[in-house]
Chains A and B, each alone.
Chain A
């Protein structure tokens, strides 16, 4: 077993142990997310005069679940750094991991994979409660997984930029909240209705293309062949965000080691 697989196992065991030791925290988190969604749903129904269209409902569910991934990615890549610095374990992790950036990517994979289980549970619960069901066929599942995975990696890139700022300045909670709010807005933005070249420009923002693709795939008749171009562009965006995020984080880590702020809180 390679060193990184061992680290992945250590991360998984640490996360699962903590989650199971404090189950109330876990269930409260899911419950709050569910309540928040129901608030959104009720608001949408009131605005739409009790009747929410199937397409709008798809957008609501897809946007919400993707925003949940966004929050998770930012927590893993940024908020966790802040809490580890506060706790005092950040230095130990930086000291012993072969590469801190690599460790964060491993953490992201583990936490987002665990989070995916929660997303599926939450999504099913929401669909059962609202009696609106996404049009998902088994043949579409691989494509959906790829789009979600690419969008999540894109979000990790954003998270890494915040993580770098967190290493340097530590208290960036307010900025993280603003970014999370911005991502919530992007999860519900349908840029193709905008005039001129705005759709082309804005679709490169995180979540926008991924959410649009998911909506397309979850629509009856939606297919991957129609969306090949968008899938390629999403792949390019993902690579760009991951690369920029990693580079920004590596530079911030180097600056933090120079400034002596790696562990200071």
Chain B
């Protein structure tokens, strides 16, 4: 099986939450005809505003929610793969048990052989830097340590496919970075396929090779992160120059589309030029050099995944999606 085989193939997936009792809320169309392909051996990000259907999709992948229609196939394995999941973050563990006791419980329920379980426990607790807390009740650990433990539990038994719903939500920067680094390392070293949902665009940009952006229950865009960024890269150039020169220079810029950015530093002005094409740089540089402008900065503005997300969904990552 090649490393880039298709791990998950989702075709025409739909899910509508219907009323359980007559007086409850109206049906909610959580997932509406979702088609998605996830390659094996990489971290795939499922992004979208609140209510876009990410969690429903990941739970249908896990088999915890039955789809109304559509198909989920796992072509890379030809069977249902061994799954690991963090679906409720730090709530996915027994708080009264210690990390080791949680590992022992979930490992045995998963059917992990005892020797392998002991070896994995040592290895993963060490890797996630909670080995010294292995015998302390989980409720006495910090939020970050609990979240790490939840990820450790998901790794037990060497799953083929790891499903992580907001794995870094609510963590401090250091803990979030640690988890991101470890996920990338483990994905690379063990050839794991990881599906991550997140609202944190910086996290998705840092760890995902490919993302699917969901909007109203379907995928609005799905491509490698680099390609999406390229697609949304505009010929916008940020120019920082001395403020004193600006009144003179402004009269010379009739042919250019630009906007003056809010003042950042006294004595300087920052202007965003929207040039349309890379060739537009030459006449701009010509105007600037004619006025002997001493440039403090001149760079092409790079889009972030958040810009891409905003353009596609028309809403902030944490905005109300439905």
Contact = CB atoms under 8 A, between A and B. Distances in A.
Contacts of A97: 109
Interface in A174-216: none
Contact of B65 (A14, A93, A98, A257): A257
B20 A92 contact: no
A260 B65 contact: yes
Contacts of B59: 91, 260
Contacts, number: 87
Given A9-B108, A259-B20, A89 B94 contact: yes
Nearest to A90: B88
B36 interface: no
A260 B153 CA distance: 23
A13 interface: yes
Given A7-B108, A87-B91, A17 B63 contact: no
Given A14-B101, A14-B105, A95 B64 contact: yes
A96 B66 contact: no
B108 A103 contact: no
A250 to B, nearest CB: 14
A17 B85 contact: no
A208 to B, nearest CB: 33
Contacts of B83: 95
Interface string A212-227: 0000000000000000
Interface string B66-110: 100000000000000001010111011111110001001110111
Given A91-B92, A92-B85, A258-B66, A169 B101 contact: no
Contacts of A22: 96
Contact of B97 (A7, A17, A94): A17
A96 B15 CA distance: 23
Contacts of A18: 94, 96-97
A50 interface: no
A169 B64 contact: no
B108 A6 contact: yes
Nearest to A261: B20
Contacts of A261: 20
Given A17-B101, A95-B62, A169-B20, A10 B108 contact: yes
Q: Select the residue from B18, B20, B105 with max chain A CB neighbours within 10 A.
A: B105
B64 A262 contact: yes
A252 to B, nearest CB: 12
Contact of B95 (A10, A17, A87, A96): A87
Given A7-B108, A10-B104, A88-B92, A259 B17 contact: yes
B94 A14 contact: yes
Interface string A59-95: 0000000000000000000000000000111011111
Contacts of A94: 64
Interface residues of B, number: 34
Most chain-A CB neighbours within 10 Å: which of B83, B89, B91?
A: B91
Interface of A is mostly: helix
Interface in A148-181: 168-169
A3 interface: yes
Interface string A244-262: 0000000000100111111
B111 interface: yes
B137 interface: yes
Contacts of B105: 10, 13-14
Nearest to A88: B91
Contacts of B88: 88, 91, 263
Contact of A95 (B17, B30, B85): B85
A92 B97 contact: no
Interface string B5-28: 000000000010110100000000
B56 interface: yes
B91 A89 contact: yes
A10 B92 contact: no
A131 interface: no
A97 to B, nearest CB: 5
Contacts of A96: 106, 109-110
B97 to A, nearest CB: 6
A95 B91 contact: no
Nearest to B82: A96
29 contacts: A3-B111, A6-B108, A6-B111, A10-B105, A10-B108, A13-B104, A14-B94, A14-B105, A17-B97, A18-B96, A87-B95, A88-B92, A89-B91, A89-B92, A92-B85, A94-B64, A95-B62, A95-B85, A98-B111, A168-B20, A258-B65, A258-B66, A259-B17, A259-B18, A259-B20, A260-B15, A260-B56, A260-B65, A263-B88
Going nearest first, the 5 A-B pairs with the smallest beta carbon separation are A88-B91, A10-B108, A88-B88, A257-B66, A96-B110
